[in-house]
Amino acid sequence: MRTLRRIALALPLAAVLPTAAAADDAWKLTVLAGQSTSNVWEDFFLEPGSLDFVDAYLLIGALAKPLRHYLDDRLAIELEGQAVRHFGQQRHWEVNLPVVARWHAFPWNRHVRTSAAFGVGPSWASRVPVLEVKHKGGSEQWLFHWFMEVTLGHPNTDWDVSLRLHHRSTAWGMAGGKGGMDSLVLGVRRSFD
């Protein structure tokens, strides 16, 4: 938990530090769809068989731009804007603006281009999400958002498959007292100039 807090606080600082020349400054458009759960995010890793999916779905459009590159382009800091439409038991819009750290250096990249990312930032819902109130005892329009993502693609295309854990929460009480939800989403990501 302490490590996540440190990462969350360090990402905005990393976006303004000096950088080397970048190999990939292309825009990235990601479209994802998935389903929310009543679980906490730790369950996705510690007890994946216990996931309790609820009748709540989301469709995400995300546009990202690399801002800085580090470690010979193995690490990129990106800014991503997300528009999220919730439907099913909760019907509202969500807008997120995470700063993202994306790691590109994997030994198998010649065969399968891979990246792993962690993004953090503010989250705004167009109305208080009803399932957050139901499962957490309350919520607010403004909360905190983070995501973990893995992308996989062929090295000679601009397309990737994306698997993401989409999280909205109080950020250990920094963005409110109650609220939050976790969702598993899958989608496609395309690079373009």
Sequence-distant (6+) residues with CB within 8 A of 88 are 54, 55, 56, 57
Rounded-to-integer distance, Cα 78 and Cα 84, Å:
19
- Structure-block tokens of residue 29: 């458009």
- Structure-block tokens of residue 5: 């807090």
Is CATH 2.40.160.20 the classification given to domain 2-192? yes
pTM of the model: 0.82
pLDDT digits (tens, 9 = 90+) for 166-180: 999 876 556 566 767
pLDDT digits (tens, 9 = 90+) for 101-145: 999 999 999 999 999 999 999 999 999 888 888 877 778 889 999
Rounded-to-integer distance, Cα 156 and Cα 76, Å:
20
